[in-house]
């Protein structure tokens, strides 16, 4: 059973409060003194719910985040149109723009046809699992009338979450002007994993949706490995590879939720190369954190005794 522990602000301040442009190499985090396999380039932030901030590595300057953007798109959609339990939500019709964009060779998309009707839950699956840019923009238009109006909502949500180094300029992440930091995106990851609907969708390795050909496979190939239960990939040439991830780990007789964000891996390389780098480096880090959990728990206990 997953334990959901809300940390007091002082326990996570190091992870969420790094100034923009400052190199944070685990200073102030529980992982200080513990040899974790941090990625050498880009930027990374990690925490364990119930333990706190493990710190991070890399400059805290905002960088393009590619399709990790879709996590905020889904978050806003579900804030505006919440789903409970197994509810599928309202029906949304595919418009001509989304259908035309489904054949694009320049970006990831979901194969849909004009006039098809899918539930809100199915649309979220089409956006998050195969990373359908066309569906992200369709959801934005459905909710707010235009992508531009929806982006205003995204930035307001980011501000409410304290994501002070984040700027959204589109719903899909294709725009290199959508930028953020690993620490900011980690704030969002915590919120997403508290939402049962989002949590269930990002955990799916594949899905079959009537009207959509074949089996839709998740771009996050770490699912089911190293305890990974989510979250979202991203990759473009400017952004490199990115991964917001959630993993479970067993220690001290309970299950812990480990959350992390890796950004700007092999930036400037082809998207597939960057994504593979983000996946590989994330898995190495996840394995390192899971193997070090007993030491991290001991460090937390020692910190509490010193107070």
Query: Which one is catalytic: 57, 70, 153, 232?
Result: 70
Q: For residues 243 and 220, is the Cβ–Cβ distance under 8 A?
A: yes
Contact 155, 233 (CB under 8 A): no
Rg (C-alpha) for the chain, rounded Å, is 19
C-alpha–C-alpha distance, residues 196 and 121, integer Å: 12
Catalytic residue among 45, 102, 131, 226: 131
Q: Is 67 an annotated catalytic residue?
A: yes
DSSP summary character for residue 173: S
State yes or no: is 266 an active-site residue.
no
84 labelled catalytic:
no
CB atoms within 10 A of CB 251: 17
Please answer whether residues 200 and 282 qualify as being in contact, where contact means their C-beta atoms are separated by less than 8 angstroms: no
| 208: Cβ contacts below 8 Å, ≥ 6 apart | 214, 215, 216
| Catalytic-labelled residue, pool 67, 102, 108, 180 | 67
d(CA 75, CA 170): 14
Q: What residues act catalytically?
A: 67, 70, 131
């Amino acid at each position: 059973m997953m334990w959901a522990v809300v940390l007091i602000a002082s326990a996570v301040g190091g992870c969420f409060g790094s100034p923009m442009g400052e190199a944070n190499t685990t200073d102030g985090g529980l992982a200080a003194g513990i040899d974790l396999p941090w990625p050498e380039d880009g930027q990374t932030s990690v925490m364990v719910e119930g333990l706190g901030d493990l710190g991070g590595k890399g400059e805290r300057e905002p960088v393009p985040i590619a399709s990790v953007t879709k996590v905020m798109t889904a978050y806003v959609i579900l804030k505006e149109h919440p789903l409970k339990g197994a509810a599928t939500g309202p029906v949304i019709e595919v418009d001509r723009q989304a259908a035309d964009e489904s054949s694009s060779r320049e970006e990831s998309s979901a194969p849909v046809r004009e006039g098809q009707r899918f539930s809100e839950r199915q649309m979220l699956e089409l956006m998050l699992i195969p990373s359908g840019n066309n569906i992200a923009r369709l959801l934005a238009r459905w909710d707010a009338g235009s992508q531009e109006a929806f982006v205003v909502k995204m930035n307001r949500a980011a501000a409410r979450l304290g994501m002070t180094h984040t700027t959204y300029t589109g719903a899909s992440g294709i725009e290199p002007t959508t930028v953020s930091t690993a620490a900011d995106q980690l704030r969002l990851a915590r919120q997403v994993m508290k939402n049962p609907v989002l949590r269930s969708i990002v955990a799916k390795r594949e899905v079959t949706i009537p009207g959509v050909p074949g089996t839709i496979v998740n771009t996050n190939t770490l699912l089911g490995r190293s305890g990974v239960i989510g979250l979202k990939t991203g990759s473009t040439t400017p952004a490199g590879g990115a991964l917001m991830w959630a993993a479970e780990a067993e220690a001290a007789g309970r299950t812990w939720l480990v959350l992390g964000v890796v950004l700007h891996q092999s930036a400037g390389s082809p998207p597939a190369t960057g994504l593979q780098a983000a996946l590989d480096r994330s898995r190495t880090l996840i394995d390192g954190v899971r193997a070090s959990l007993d030491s991290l728990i001991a460090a937390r206990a020692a910190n509490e005794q010193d107070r």
